[in-house]
Amino acid sequence: MSHEDRLFGLYVHWPFCKAKCPYCDFNSHVSKQINFPAFQAGMLAEMRHLANRLEQPSRLCSIFFGGGTPSLMPPDLIAAIIAEAEQIFGFSTDIEITAEANPTSVEAAGLASFKSAGVNRVSLGIQALDPAQLHFLGREHSVTEALEALALVQTTFAKVSIDLIYGLPGQTLGSWQMTLQKLLELGLDHLSLYQLTIEAGTLFHTRWRRGDVLTGSDDLVADLFLMTNAIMEEAGLSAYEVSNYARNGHECQHNLNYWQAQDWLGIGPGAHSRFDYWGQRIGLVTRRSPKSWLEMTALNGHAIEVESLETPTGWASEMLMMGLRLKAGVDLDLIERKCGPRKLWLDLERLETHLNAGLVHFIQYQNSERLATTAGGRLLLNSLLADISR
């Protein structure tokens, strides 16, 4: 693959929210006072610094404003970041520029100015279509507000995705099926449907350790997952990744970059960059705390505090781990070209066992033979990966 064929993306992390949701372990904070000009100066400086770390800058295929809650960012800040990115890297003709947004009415109304700033795709965190579930998830918006925000966003942006969380206590196959049917009536081309996970360091984790039941049983969640895949596929939205469903041509380019282990830079507190560099794989991580990220960028022009050079095995396992999330799987020959013979990073005997058990299969995709998980294999992805990687 030439440099031109590779995806190249920029991730911008906005680390603030109106309130902290009890299930969320993202780097997000509630703060009364935010020094926006200092964030702008830090983000632009960090972008310039990272551009100089590349083997060869390419045109950007995607920018992703993630959080936290990027819909709380001032539109001028969004515009300044996009303008600087275009000046430094240039944009591919069909660049995808996504902002994550929370569906409160105020934020939805403000998103029109994000469009003027250059954003062309919005990912709206609806999370649930049931008032009791929204309350359980500690969300700040109602179902009506979320649906109104969605309708507004759909009139403004051609590309819209929504996030929902399932596998909640009390949820049944029937009630989730009804939710999916309602969602399918909304005319969406992309949905992210996540199973609730109890993450360390969250309020839900504390409650779970005390014995509260916060998720459906493993068996029910597995059935919900398989039903979700079947319903979405039937409606023409391919389960192109473990939690992501899209009509053909509407897959999220920015996230495909991660899943295909290509090249991206990340700016802002706690952002990760990963890119190929003269035949090696570099990983960078910036300071996580917003306050010390600001101090560090003011001092050094960047807040990178971890730098790693992957071993061939580490790099191979990144490509396997990310690629097996995709229905289109991963090209083992490509990994061999970068990381050496497969027996060094793949347990071929265990792979054979999982091929025979129908958890993985070889498929033909875009002129290459690829290893991919079946729907059943994606259900057991973590243990499968631990088993086949060396």
Ligand X SMILES: C[S@@+](CC[C@H](N)C(=O)[O-])C[C@H]1O[C@@H](n2cnc3c(N)ncnc32)[C@H](O)[C@@H]1O
∠ CA 242-244-247, rounded to 5°: 130
Smaller CB distance to ligand SF4: residue 17 or 256? 17
From ligand X, ligand SF4, none, interface partner of 197 (C-beta below 5 to 8 A by class): ligand X
- Cβ(17)–Cβ(68) under 8 Å? yes
**How far is 79 from 72, CA to CA, in rounded Å?**
14
Using rule CB under 6 A, residue 102 touches ligand SF4: yes
Shortest reach from residue 17's CB to ligand SF4, in Å = 3
Using rule CB under 6 A, residue 160 touches ligand X: no
Q: Which two tokens stand for residue 60?
A: 């950007």
Smaller CB distance to ligand SF4: residue 103 or 377? 103
Q: Which residue's structure tokens are 């049931």? A: 130
Among 8, 11, 16, 26, binds ligand X (CB under 6 A): 26
From ligand X, ligand SF4, none, interface partner of 20 (C-beta below 5 to 8 A by class): ligand SF4
Q: Which two tokens stand for residue 265?
A: 């830079």
Among 47, 117, 119, 165, binds ligand X (CB under 6 A): 165
- Cβ(218)–Cβ(383) under 8 Å? no
**How far is 298 from 279, CA to CA, in rounded Å?**
32
Using rule CB under 6 A, residue 125 touches ligand X: yes
From ligand SF4, ligand X, none, interface partner of 379 (C-beta below 5 to 8 A by class): none
Using rule CB under 6 A, residue 194 touches ligand X: yes
CA atoms within 13 A on the CB side of 120: 15
**How far is 79 from 74, CA to CA, in rounded Å?**
9
Using rule CB under 6 A, residue 245 touches ligand X: no
Shortest reach from residue 298's CB to ligand X, in Å = 26
Smaller CB distance to ligand X: residue 13 or 281? 13
From ligand SF4, ligand X, none, interface partner of 365 (C-beta below 5 to 8 A by class): none
Smaller CB distance to ligand SF4: residue 141 or 370? 141
- Cβ(271)–Cβ(11) under 8 Å? yes
**How far is 199 from 259, CA to CA, in rounded Å?**
21
Smaller CB distance to ligand X: residue 82 or 101? 101
Using rule CB under 6 A, residue 383 touches ligand X: no
Using rule CB under 6 A, residue 176 touches ligand X: no
Among 58, 69, 133, 228, binds ligand X (CB under 6 A): 69
Among 6, 24, 222, 277, binds ligand SF4 (CB under 6 A): 24
From ligand SF4, ligand X, none, interface partner of 225 (C-beta below 5 to 8 A by class): none
Shortest reach from residue 140's CB to ligand SF4, in Å = 8
**How far is 342 from 31, CA to CA, in rounded Å?**
48
Kindly write out the interface string for residues 27-66 of this chain, putting x where it contacts ligand X by CB under 6 A and - elsewhere: ---------------------------------------x
Among 3, 170, 199, 386, binds ligand X (CB under 6 A): 199
State which of positions 117-156 bind ligand SF4 (CB under 6 A): 125
Among 9, 42, 68, 270, binds ligand SF4 (CB under 6 A): 68
Using rule CB under 6 A, residue 196 touches ligand X: yes
Among 42, 67, 118, 329, binds ligand X (CB under 6 A): 67
CA dihedral sign, ordered 108, 259, 49, 269: positive
Q: Which residues sit at the interface with ligand X, rule CB under 6 A? A: 17, 23-24, 26, 66-67, 69, 100, 102, 125, 127, 163, 165, 194, 196-197, 199
Q: Which residues sit at the interface with ligand SF4, rule CB under 6 A? A: 17, 20-21, 24, 26, 28, 67-69, 102, 125
